[in-house]
Structure 1
Amino acid sequence: MTMRIAVLIPCYNEELTIGKVVQDFRRELPDAEIYVYDNNSRDRTAEVAREAGAIVRRETRQGKGNVVRSMFRDIDADVYVMTDGDDTYPAEFVHDLIRPIIEGEADMCIGDRHSDGSYSKENKRPFHNFGNQLVRKLINTLFHADLRDIMTGYRAFSRRFAKTMPIQSEGFEIETEMTLHALDKRFRILEIPIQYRDRPPGSHSKLNTLSDGIRVLKTVFWIFKDYKPLAFFTAVALILFLAGLGVGIPVLYEYFSFGRIAKIPSAILAVGFMVLATNSLTCGFILDTIVRHHRDYYELLQNEFKG
């Protein structure tokens, strides 16, 4: 049976490059259906994509996460390929990405931009590189993984992964969420080395260093809290415990030395810190149990999935 392959291209103001991207993937995958989802573009992105032979649809909710959510829900295929419309990901690597999916060796293949050094060479935004490395190190540490590229937009998915992933992100954090979901739910991940090229002259990135840096920090916090609640709240409890000790030790010294306590406010504050530390640790145990039950429930849903 022939595998149905869908190429998914989220787009926002990519008039200059989208035509070439569609043509390149049509050349590499002549039997695939190529979908361009126009995310409120103010230029001729939709018209150019349609002229190049793509199936064009519109997503009015702004943000790449919203687009990918609609793509996974609306499009029916056996293999999904996601790429960007800015012509930074060469189409010729798509065969390496989809082969493990077709052969049943992986549920998600990631186009790794870092192995050959092309991303660090072509990308002129050092703070984005720093943010990528920060998130990658955190995820690898928490999940005992060894992934090299967490935020790449060039990926291939199995039908099971695409149809059972609950997407919560609205913006560019969607790539990080996909990686987290795959690691947490024990999907099979393969990284495929690819080359990365910078945008052509005249094409401008939609990323903003300041706002996206804040998003990266929020993502780091969210990863730690939601996926590893016991570790997160234990760390919070330790900070509160040390604060309680710092405030309470002089009070205890005073009591054991003179048999009385004159620093009543300090004693109350120290007790407060210790109570908060205990509550934080308790929350960590409760939420960790909930997360474990959620993973078990997801596994049962996977058994019922009809691919």
Structure 2
Amino acid sequence: MVRDGIAVIIPCYNEALTIGKVVDDFHRELPEATVYVYENNSTDGTAEIARGRGAVVRLEPRQGKGNVCRQMFRDIEADCYLMVDGDDTYPAESAWALCAPVLAGEADMVVGDRLSNGTYAKQNGRTFHGFGNDLVRAMIKWIYGYGFEDVMTGYRAMSRPFVKTFPVLSEGFQIETELSIHAVDRRWRIVNIPVEYRDRPNGSVSKLNTVRDGLKVIAMIGTLFKDYRPLKFFSLVALAFCIGGLCAGMPVVSEYLATGLVPRIPTAILAVAFMFIAALSLATGFILDAVAKVERKQWELQVYRQAENE
């Protein structure tokens, strides 16, 4: 299979209003790149417009951005993958700045940061989108110790080893969060580059549901926390049950020491149950942590094999 130097990959669903300009802009800024548009059951002629502008158009019938990205990563062979939305909110003028660190071997993921320069706050009128981004950033910072400038951006460049060893689990808009957490947990080299964000043009509608998709993103963070850092996750669960057990059990113990009686048998049983669950959670954390370390070693070997095939 022929490998591209740079592949511009664009997941699309009903972006007829903007996709033509997006394809033209990236052809202009990266004339040596191949532009791929993965059409996700659009009903407005997105595929025909993109094909007419010279993009390689493919259909992904499974609905959801995560499903589209999974298939793009499987299908496309390139040295650098530049992922961008088809809604014309990201500047093609920043394309080379994002790709250059990857092609120079200095980064494995370059994040197009919309937040640090303030353009996202100015252009995007949806308050809860900014709040959700800040919440996700804070959660990743607390769990993994890495502070992303912008977690939810749809504009990022990735290296071939990163893409080909990345297991996509999400189906929808959780994909950006999953990419970010994977990069941090697996210690890939990450570079943040500010980009100028602009809001969608009039008539273009966001497919993101703030509440529904926000809850899915938080659930994805919890799932990856459990999978990637099981000892920390289950230690927190054990601590919560231990506190509950102490709160329930200390009055019972105090009463027993004072009177020699245990009149509140149900409370005593509840306290013992909480402490048992705490011990069981901690043991689960240790076991799954050992499994996760083995899986991490196998993944590292997979990355080495991928590098050897370059």
Verify same fold: TM over 0.5.
yes
Q: Give the C-alpha shift of residue 92 in structure 1.
A: 0.4
Structure 1 gap segments, 5+ residues each? none
* 2:78 aligned counterpart, secondary structure: coil
Contact 1:3/1:102, CA 8 A, preserved across alignment? no
Counterparts of 1:1-307 in structure 2 under 5 Å? 4-305=5-306, 306-307=309-310
Superposed CA deviations along residues 183-234 of structure 1, whole A, max 9, x for unmatched, are: 1111111111101000001101011122123213313322332222212211
Contact 2:9/2:35, CA 8 A, preserved across alignment? yes
CA distance in 2, matches of 1:41, 1:157: 26
- Out of 67-76 and 134-143, give the one that drifted further: 134-143
Q: Give the C-alpha shift of residue 130 in structure 1.
A: 1.1
* 2:58 aligned counterpart, secondary structure: strand
Identical pairs, percent? 57
* 1:78 aligned counterpart, secondary structure: strand
Aligned residues: 306
Q: Give the C-alpha shift of residue 35 in structure 1.
A: 0.6
The code of the aligned residue for 1:49 comes to A
CA distance in 1, matches of 2:190, 2:100: 13
Residues 11 and 26 (structure 1), Cα distance of their counterparts in 2 relative to 1, 3 Å cut:
same
CA distance in 1, matches of 2:217, 2:73: 24
* 1:43 aligned counterpart, secondary structure: coil
Contact 1:97/1:110, CA 8 A, preserved across alignment? yes
CA distance in 2, matches of 1:216, 1:101: 27
Contact 1:131/1:216, CA 8 A, preserved across alignment? no
> What is the CA RMSD across the aligned residues, in angstroms?
1.3
TM-score (norm 1): 0.97
Superposed CA deviations along residues 108-155 of structure 1, whole A, max 9, x for unmatched, are: 111011111111111111112111111111112222212211111101
Q: Give the C-alpha shift of residue 3 in structure 1.
A: 6.5
Contact 2:4/2:77, CA 8 A, preserved across alignment? no
CA distance in 1, matches of 2:252, 2:78: 67
Superposed CA deviations along residues 20-41 of structure 1, whole A, max 9, x for unmatched, are: 0000000011121111010000
Contact 1:5/1:33, CA 8 A, preserved across alignment? yes
The code of the aligned residue for 2:112 comes to G
* 2:54 aligned counterpart, secondary structure: coil
* 2:192 aligned counterpart, secondary structure: strand
* 1:133 aligned counterpart, secondary structure: helix
CA distance in 1, matches of 2:164, 2:222: 27
- Out of 196-205 and 263-272, give the one that drifted further: 263-272
Residues 56 and 3 (structure 1), Cα distance of their counterparts in 2 relative to 1, 3 Å cut:
closer
* 1:5 aligned counterpart, secondary structure: strand
CA distance in 2, matches of 1:213, 1:173: 8
Following TM superposition, where does structure 1 have runs of at least 4 consecutive aligned residues deviating by more than 6 angstroms? none
The code of the aligned residue for 2:241 comes to L
Residues 49 and 3 (structure 1), Cα distance of their counterparts in 2 relative to 1, 3 Å cut:
closer
Superposed CA deviations along residues 244-276 of structure 1, whole A, max 9, x for unmatched, are: 111111211121111121111111111111101
* 1:303 aligned counterpart, secondary structure: helix
Superposed CA deviations along residues 37-82 of structure 1, whole A, max 9, x for unmatched, are: 1000011100111111111110000011111111111111111110
